Structure 1
């Protein structure tokens, strides 16, 4: 099972940063919480800080972990480890994704999400 960390990144207005996968990625054009594969001997929180810097060119801080989601696609299984994070600095510069949005919590369900992210999205929406 592939270990993947993902970030629900909140900016100063508490809008969530979401990213759209490129056409060359698995699950093309689906929306997701950004993140990436946890490397050997790397903590998920460390992975997120590294991956967000590599993929979006911004700095974040990790606030809180949400429930882990094990998801089975036809061709692979992933263990998605989500964290609520705070945007610290930098301008978003997409390296892998084709688009990003800053959305209010109530508009998140309007997107076409990657399946593994849906339980995480639902848990986040239940938080007050």
Structure 2
């Protein structure tokens, strides 16, 4: 099972949520997701997320709260997706892997074409508001 940590990045002033669209060269191209990545040996989930968001988006974040994970079976692999609520504390967005990004109010998030493993994460987040 592939364990992936993802960031639900919330703007604390507007309450808008950051979402990223997967690039054409990525698996599940052009699907929307909460950005993140795989943990490296010896990393905690929080350390992984801080590193991945810096690498992928050039942003510094603070990790605030862990939400319930989702286990999803894709045809070629099984993923355990572990989400964390985060805030940006520095940096300017530079997309290194993703096609584009959006800041959306929570009510608009369900209108996107999401990667399947992210959908229960999204629904759980929205239910917690």
Q: TM-score range, shorter-chain basis? A: over 0.9
Matched residue pairs, number?
A: 128
C-alpha distance in 1, partners of 2:90/2:74?
34
Specify the alignment match of 1:108 in structure 2.
109
Q: Secondary structure at the match of 2:65?
A: strand
Equivalence map 1:63-82=2 (5 Å): 63-82=64-83
Structure 1 position 118, deviation (Å): 0.4
Following the alignment from structure 1 to structure 2, what is the Cα–Cα distance between the partners of residues 45 and 91? Answer: 20
Indicate the SS of the match to 1:86: strand
The residue aligned with 1:54 is 55
Rounded Cα–Cα distance in structure 1 between residues aligned with 2:84 and 2:6: 6
Unmatched tracts of structure 1, length 5 or more: none
Q: Deviations over 1:13-52 (max 9, x none)?
A: 2111100001111001000000001111111111000000
Match of 2:6 in 1: 6
1:54-112: CA deviations, max 9, x gaps? Answer: 00001110010000111110011111110000111111000000000000011000100
Which residue in 2 is equivalent to 1:94?
95
> Which ranges of 4 or more aligned residues in structure 1 deviate by more than 6 Å?
none
Q: Report the TM-score, using the length of structure 2 for normalisation.
A: 0.97
| TM-score normalized by the length of structure 1 | 0.97
